[in-house]
Amino acid sequence: MMRPVMLGSIVQKLSWGNLVLVLSLLHPPIALSAVVAAIPIPNPSFEAQSLPIRNFTSGDIKGWTSPGGQGTLRPSAFEYNGGGSPGLQTSPALGVPSGVNVAYSNGGTISQILNESLTAGRLYTLQVSVGDRVDQALANYEIQLAAGGEVLAHAVAPHPPDGAFITDTLTFSAPQGHSMLGQLLEIRLVSLSVQVNFDNVLLTATTVPEPHAARIFAAGLQHCSGLGI
């Protein structure tokens, strides 16, 4: 019968270089957990500007590029009442996903280039809350993840109910050799006309260990057991 392998004693007795070699040989494979990291986005929920209820900026969204027809809005219950009938214009909005402000676009693209480069082998997940005001029809829109000026992925979710938000999600993973590797990532919030509201922009990168790494780890520990370590 194979005796148990004491990982602690192995680590103590081996140098780092030898440990890496040993970990390359264990079988059966040990599952290595994926690592999920949030990518920093300046002003992701558009709260950088303090506004009274039902006030907005024009062409000014801190941390974002907005060429015109966009801005920051602090809606009231008249625009967002959680999918119900319009509320009072002097009452706070209900159901805003994060904070009290949203970004609005009456056409065009709100964008931000991040301080994060496209890396092969990572699964990027972009989530954006999209809102439909009670008092206006929701325009056609899409969310995009780009790098080096090239759109990597885009998504459009079903329209939310009047006065409410939904979360739109896209994913992208670049293979080795992709032409945009090393280019800075960019988030784009696109509206084709009046009006779309955006909020709570989140981007994560998930790194999944390659299968051979788990096999290497397992076989190495098995080898140590055979050596009596």
Confidence of residue 223 (pLDDT cuts 50, 70, 90): low
- Where residue 68 falls (left for φ over 0; alpha for ψ -120 to 50; beta otherwise) is left
Q: What is the pLDDT of residues 146-201, one digit of tens each?
A: 999 999 999 987 889 999 999 999 999 999 999 999 999 999 999 999 999 999 99
In this predicted structure, what is the pLDDT of residue 85? 80
Comparing CA positions, the residue from 123, 174, 125 lying closest to residue 147 is 174
Token duo for residue 139: 């325009």
Q: In sequence order, what E strands does the chain have?
A: 35-38, 70-73, 102-105, 108-117, 122-132, 141-147, 150-155, 164-173, 184-191, 196-207
Measured distance CA(96)–CA(197) in Å, rounded: 10
Measured distance CA(93)–CA(77) in Å, rounded: 4
Confidence of residue 204 (pLDDT cuts 50, 70, 90): very high
**What is the number of other CB atoms lying within 10 angstroms of the CB of residue 135?**
13
Cβ distance 43 to 111 under 8 Å?
no
SS3 state of residue 65: strand
Q: What is the pLDDT of residues 145-158, one digit of tens each?
A: 999 999 999 998 78
SS3 state of residue 22: helix
Q: Is the pLDDT of residue 4 over 70?
A: no
Cβ distance 60 to 110 under 8 Å?
no
The whole model's pTM is what?
0.79
Token duo for residue 146: 């780009």
Measured distance CA(43)–CA(97) in Å, rounded: 14
Q: What residues pair up with 169 in beta bridges, in sequence order?
A: 127
Which residues fall within 8 angstroms of residue 28, CB to CB, at 6 or more apart?
218
Phi first, then psi: give them for residue 228, nearest 5 degrees: 80, 20
Measured distance CA(51)–CA(74) in Å, rounded: 6
Taken in order of first residue, the domains within the chain and their CATH numbers are 1-32+210-229 (no CATH), 34-208 (2.60.120.260)
Token duo for residue 127: 């989530």
Element (H, E) at 5: none
Identify whether 136 is preceded by a cis peptide bond (ω within 30 of 0).
Answer: no
